[in-house]
Amino acid sequence: MTGEFDVVRHPRARRTKLSFDPLTGRARLTLPPRASVERAVAWARGQQAWLARQRDAMPQPRPFVAGATIPVEGAELLVIHDAGASRLPVMAGGCLTVGGPADMVERRVAAWLKRRALAVLEEETNHYAARAGVSVARVGIGDPRGRWGSCAHDGTIRYSWRLILAPVEVRRATVAHEVAHRLHMDHSPAFHAAVERLFGRDPRPERTWLRTHGAALHWFGRSVSRGG
């Protein structure tokens, strides 16, 4: 590791590569097994203009505080704090109203979003499972950095709760993708055909949206920048 970036030697790398993680603000320099670290670092230090552009394009923290707007199921919700209102957030009229102490707003909004995500994802998973004629053992949520969903051999499907912040069709395409793994535990042509059949059309636009905008979803609920 250097001050500017992490240095990683990868056994299958064929060339030196500099990449940037918009989730952490850290750059990574990946080297082939026999590449010179000194030369690679010197080359990477010459890419400061590129790194500066990546950092400038990083998403900004979007804390769950009063006055913030949060995308939920395709709509923008304005977070309102009303000390005398219910401590359980209430969604109505384009607003999410949270009662109780002001310093608890962020925690209560995050908990509400996760409950909402689990309920919606369970419903949509059951919908696609019925369409596919398969069973699902359990639906769970988490906050993984590297994937939006996973399907285990025992029939358990897990999702990132942050899918509730994505456009509706993006979330549904992800659900169809994971349910299709109950038919094919691979990414074969038969699997992709099953995804299209379940979703009702080619999901490539939704996959492109996640690749382009997915990192920004991880900045919701952050009060300060991490890393870098």
Per-residue pLDDT of the chain (228 residues), as tens digits, is 556 788 899 888 888 999 888 777 788 899 999 889 888 889 988 888 888 888 877 778 899 999 999 999 989 999 999 999 999 999 999 999 999 999 999 999 999 999 999 999 999 999 999 999 999 999 999 999 889 999 999 999 999 999 999 999 999 999 999 999 999 999 999 999 999 999 999 999 999 999 999 999 999 998 754 443
* pLDDT for 54: 80
Residue 227, pLDDT score: 40
pLDDT in tens, 213-228: 999 999 999 875 444 3
- Predicted confidence at residue 225, as pLDDT, reads 46
Average pLDDT of the chain, as a whole number: 92
> What does the DSSP assignment read for the chain?
--SSEEEEE-TT--S-EEEEETTTTEEEEEE-TT--HHHHHHHHHTTHHHHHHHHHTSPPPB---TT-EEEETTEEEEEEE-TTS-SS-EEETTEEEE-S-GGGHHHHHHHHHHHHHHHHHHHHHHHHHHHHT---SEEEEE--SS-SEEE-TTSEEEEEGGGGGS-HHHHHHHHHHHHHTTT-SS--HHHHHHHHHHHSS--HHHHHHHHHHHHHHTTBT-SS----
Q: What is the pLDDT of residues 159-208, one digit of tens each?
A: 999 999 999 999 999 999 999 999 999 999 999 999 999 999 999 999 99
The predicted pLDDT at position 188 comes to: 97
